Structure 1
Amino acid sequence: MADQELIDALRDAEAVRFGEFELSHGGTSEYYVDKYVFETNPDCLERVAAAFGDRLGDVPRLAGVALGAVPLVAATAVETGRPYVIVRKQAKEYGTGNRIEGDLEDGDEVVVLEDIATTGRSALDAVEALREAGAVVDRVLVVVDREEGARELLADHDVALESLVTASELLDDRV
């Protein structure tokens, strides 16, 4: 069931826009959920962190996908007192050369936090990087699931996708 207060907060912050938008995977959409609007709005960020915290269960470590999920995972870590790592899209070519920033031990159970799920490719890339580093990952929590295949892609890789809000819920009575 949708978190109506979160939906209202996202709408009030004007994080949902209508028009013609190109998405990161190359497709187009008549609406756009602007993650930077809700990630930089203290009320939205606080609500997201609390909602993620309520759904974490006993998983001891969090992971956020750079760049978009970093504010989400940081706020959730503060909310819950859990440590987190940041998963880069690719390893750095300077400094430490890390793809995963933060402490991660072999066998650590991790839940990935993500902003928007469309195809699920970004979340799956993060899951695969974490698994290659020895983490146990079977769940991704996302703020908004656009309902365009992410759940199915992740399920094919033994990962459950849980959303705080679906696009259908967010757009109900708006389109």
Structure 2
Amino acid sequence: MTAPLPQLPRPLQLAALPLPLPPLSLFLSALTRRMAKAHPAMTRRLGDYAGHRFLIDPIDLPWLLLLHPEAAVMTAHRRARPPAHDARIAGPISAFLAMMHGAEDGDALFFSRDLTVEGDTAAVLALRNAIDDAELDLAEELAALSGPLALPLRRALTGAERATGLTLHRITRLDDLA
């Protein structure tokens, strides 16, 4: 049995409340475009599902995220007004981050109900497989966007990871190296 997922600290949840959605959406879309450009096989791996709209519902944050892989766009939306989507994936942000970085198996997170899926489950499976294959590293993607602030940002993210228990970088398992 794996350790329970860490919880997003309450101060971070509260800090997210006043964030204006248009600038947040611009930032998330820039990050999504960066990842799509750096990992073009990810979108190709999605095949026909690249045109789907995935509603990502980090239940411990005040907003929803809509990912449209084909357009390389991610936008933030208020919970009271969810946008049209083909599939919804819901769970704590720690589950999404752990799955993205290989710290937790996506199937295990779904079977344990740490993550729940509604809508087109085949599309969600394709998205999960594409993310797994891309071996994304959020800390490195953010550093690549930050230019001369890359080193201080990496240090800040490492500190945030230690303080919160959230997985903010790619995990390299010893058994993966064998």
Give the shorter-chain TM-score range.
0.3 to 0.5
| Larger relative strand fraction | 1
Q: TM-score, with normalisation over the residues of structure 1?
A: 0.33
The answer to which structure, 1 or 2, has the higher relative contact order (CA under 8 A, 6+ apart) is 2
